[in-house]
Structure 1
Amino acid sequence: MTFFEGAIILAAGIVAGIINVVAGAGTLITFPTLLALGIPPITANVSNTVGLVPGSIAGAYGYRRELRSQWRPVAWMAVFSAVGGVVGGLLLLILPEGAFSAVVPFLLLLAAILSAAQPRVARYVRRKAPDDDDDDADADAADTRPVTFGLVLGILGTGVYGGYFGAAQGVVLLALLGILWSTDIHRANGAKNVLAGMANLVSAVIFISSGTVDWAVAVLIGVGSAFGGWLGARVGRRLSAPVLRAILVIVALTAAVVLFLT
């Protein structure tokens, strides 16, 4: 690896760290960058997953204030994200490359639609929920519900995808959390960073034990993503909900188009 190539990977890690925290599609920056530098796909994928873990930790820490009263449900959701991450990491090492690629663009299109319609869909879900309290109908719209079985299944599924590849996993997670858990988009974003980071972490452990990690690449992405995650948390917390939602829709649609064309 030349100095110039290392600088490119470091810069990609910084950008990916910011995007992952704010929206959740940083892999679409780092993974193509690694491929363009001639790194084999599997090596690029596992090294990228390991490298993005520090960024996820920095992003989750940056949103600690929004999650202050919600660590118990977030911890439970993180357990299912971890289980999915283990399954996804093992599938990457077992299945043929690209086995899930056909469905990913459609998943991102769905995430874009859900992100755009999240406030209305969330209100509809709460109205239809059997445990919804009518006395709270006029309460603050940014409420948080208990973790439901449907949300657990969604988190488990995104955990599998995150462990397997993970491009724009956060976009899908944030759509799910915003509709089924909390209409406070910043709280949902903080939880998203924890859950995506957990899937990354457990799959990274699997990849490290497999001996397929390029440590030079992983360290450069790790340093960059940690700084980007810290910066992204500062930026993301200052964005209004409509602006953040617009960014999510744009990122999801862009990611879907990129994956459709590749």
Structure 2
Amino acid sequence: MLAAMNPAHLAEMLAVLAAGLAAGAVNAVVGSGTLISFPVLLATGLPPVTATVSNALGLIPGSIGGALGYREELRGRGRRVALWSVGAACGALVGASLLLALPAEVFETVVPVLVGVALVLVAGQPLIRGRLQRRRARKDRPARPDGGPLLLAGLTTASVYGGYFSAAQGIIYVALMGLSLDDELQRLNAVKNVLVAVVNSVAALFFLAAADFDWTAVALLATGSAIGGPVGARLGRRLSPVVLRTLIVTVGSTAILVMVAR
């Protein structure tokens, strides 16, 4: 990425560092941080696949920092998170393989629709969950604490997309869990951060053996995201469910516009 140290290259380095910080913070709170960091990497001249795999590796510290920042909300959920993490890891491997095997156009039409449906589910979560609770009560059938096999299948499928590109995967996770679990939005957000960290880590390990990185970009993103992830988690935990839901819908809608406009 950087052949010599001159003002233009220094500006590129600072831009990537700042993008990593912002992406790490946004990922911890909402998701979709890739929509900040990925275009910056492309602007420095990196090819799309190299930018994608460098982005995946560089954002790992931020994902881990965001997950650790939400550790209080994760208490008592170790078993179910471990189960979902296995599914996320499997999905990430499939998605990372598809990135190297398929043309980018394959996902370009499907992804905005997928994120749009997820946003509708997040926005309508209180209403939808209330109806599901009343339906379960009538049938005397309590919600399963782990969401059952359908949730596991949904999270695993979403992780395929996460391994492929990752933008807005957190929004999809929150939407799926919100429909299946009787839990607070902040706790769902905490689990989302763990799953994103798993997907990014597994995909990056796969890419290490199968794709080219730009290590300067990786180092700068990693430094920025390592700072941004914990900061974003600290801020995100203070948001009310209404504000957090509004932020998710706003960022997700922006993500759709960006993806459609590309």
TM-score (norm 2): 0.93
What pairs with 1:118-197 in structure 2 (closer than 5 Å)? 118-129=125-136, 132-133=141-142, 145-197=145-197
- Per-residue CA deviations over 1:15-72 (Å, capped at 9, x if unaligned) read 0011101110000001111111211100000000011111110011011101111111
Deviations 1:111-153 (A, max 9, x none): 11111101111222333346734xxxxxxxxx98323111111
TM-superposed deviation, 1:234 = 0.2
- In structure 2, the residue matched to 1:28 is 35
Aligned-pair CA distance for 1:211: 4.1
Q: 2 CA distance for matches of 1:31 and 1:131?
A: 48
- The DSSP-based 3-state class of the residue aligned with 2:65 is helix
Structure 1 residues 256 and 50, CA gap change in structure 2 (3 angstroms): same
Using the TM superposition, name which of 6-15 and 181-190 deviates more: 181-190
Q: Which residue of 1 aligns with 2:115?
A: 108
Residues 235, 41 of structure 1: CA spacing in aligned structure 2 closer, same or farther, 3 A cutoff?
Answer: same
* Cα gap change, 1:50 to 1:30, in 2 (>3 Å): same
List alignment gaps of at least 5 residues for structure 2: 3-8
SS of the aligned residue for 1:194 comes to helix
User: For residues 146 and 206 of structure 1, what CA distance do their matches in structure 2 show?
Assistant: 28
Distance in 2 between residues matched to 1:245 and 1:159, nearest whole Å: 21
Query: 1:53/1:131 Cα in 2 relative to 1: closer, same or farther (>3 Å)?
Result: farther
Measured in 2, the distance between the counterparts of 1:214 and 1:126 equals 49
Structure 1 residues 96, 74: CA separation in 2 closer, same or farther (over 3 Å shift)?
A: same
Alignment partner, residue 139 of structure 1:
none
Query: Percent identity at matched positions?
Result: 45
For residue 65 of structure 1, the aligned residue among 48, 51, 72 is: 72
CA contact (8 A) 2:42 2:48 kept: yes
Deviations 1:172-218 (A, max 9, x none): 11111122124301110000000111111111001111241111111
Q: Given that residues 151 and 180 in structure 2 are in contact (C-alpha distance below 8 angstroms), is that contact kept between their aligned partners in structure 1?
A: yes
Aligned equivalent of 2:94, options 87, 90, 102: 87
More helix by share: 2
Deviations 1:215-260 (A, max 9, x none): 1111111111111100000000000000000000001111111111
CA distance in 1: counterparts of 2:205 and 2:96, whole angstroms: 9
Gap change, CA 1:131 and 1:162, over 3 Å in 2? farther
TM-score, with normalisation over the residues of structure 1? 0.93
Q: Structure 2: which amino acid aligns with 1:40?
A: P
- What residue in structure 2 maps to residue 140 of structure 1? none
CA–CA distance in structure 2, aligned partners of residues 154 and 257 of structure 1: 24
CA distance in 2, matches of 1:144, 1:3: 53
Residues of 2 paired with 1:44 and 1:182: CA distance? 38
**Which runs of 5 or more structure 1 residues have no equivalent in the other structure?**
134-142
Note if contact 1:122-1:183 (Cα within 8 Å) is conserved in structure 2.
no
Counterpart position of 2:207:
207
1:38 counterpart SS class: coil
Q: How many residues align?
A: 253
